[in-house]
Amino acid sequence: MSSPVQASPPLRLDRSRHAAPQVFERLRQMILSLELAPGTVLSRAELAARFGVSQTPVRDALMRLGEEGLIDIFPQHATLVSQISLASVKQAHFLRLAIELEVVSNLADDADPALLEALRATVAAQRAALQARDIPRFSVLDHGFHLQMYEAAGVRQLWDMVRRISGDLDRLRRLHLPAEGKAQAIVRDHTELVDAIAKGDAAQAQRVLRRHLSGTLSQVEQIRRKHPEFVVAD
């Protein structure tokens, strides 16, 4: 069990907006980035003090995180950041692959020059983040690349759905990201994917995407051996 978060610095909220959604998004990002690692104790009182709010929005945020499987709530005992469930990872991967194979096929059938320019700009920003060794920025851009494709295909709501069930998959990918060659492989795949879409080659776009989304799952056992306290095969 990891230490609680009481020693962490305060987190500022936008006082013009409701607190609970902001607390939820901030905690969710901290969990997905592994700033709050699996096993970390989450105290409602300590989080309320850190965010400068009452315990009510914190409680609401924790309930939403529990619904997404990112925390385990043991009434009258403790609330912990959950371990990464491989069963959850595999289901999220299955859904994401099914959706994105169709997305890239549709985009390749009608390649939009504005989209291609935007995707290439994101890939260039990823290269810059990689050169600067800015892993958090690189990870944000990775998600942004895929979001751009969902939006271009007119299925933004599906991105939101996939996002809600992909917490464990995202955390596993974040564990894998520092591995030698992993970030470079992501940039390569994104580049090849944009090229395939630009050429109108839907079959090639799907081949690249399948390889891209399956990279982390192919290394599950290695990741588990390196982080046995984080990943469970339930």
Which of 55-59, 99-103, 203-207 bottoms out in mean pLDDT, i.e. has the lowest?
55-59
pLDDT, one tens digit per residue, over 27-63 is: 999 999 999 999 999 999 999 999 999 999 999 999 9
Residue 190 contacts residue 119 (beta carbons within 8 Å): yes
For residue 117, pLDDT over 80 is answered with yes
For residues 91 and 99, give the distance between their C-alpha atoms in angstroms, rounded to a whole number: 13
- What integer pLDDT is reported at residue 8 of this predicted model? 59
Closest of 182, 217, 218 to residue 84, by C-alpha: 217
pLDDT of residue 50: 92
Top mean pLDDT of 77-81, 153-157, 220-224 is at: 153-157
Instruction: Tell me the two tokens of residue 199.
Output: 């050429």
Q: Which helix (H) or strand (E) holds 155?
A: none
Domains and CATH numbers, the chain: 19-82 (1.10.10.10), 85-232 (1.20.120.530)
Q: Across residues 92-113, what is the average pLDDT?
A: 97
- Burial of 9: CB neighbours in 10 Å, binned 0-12, 13-18, 19+: exposed
pLDDT level of residue 3 (50, 70, 90 thresholds): low
> If you average pLDDT over every residue of the chain, what do you get?
92
Residue range 71-92: average pLDDT? Answer: 93
Residue 82, helix vs strand vs coil? coil
- Can you give the pLDDT at residue 6? 46
Which two tokens mark 202?
Answer: 């839907």
Residue 91 is predicted with a pLDDT of 95
pLDDT in tens, 148-176: 999 999 999 999 999 999 999 999 999 99
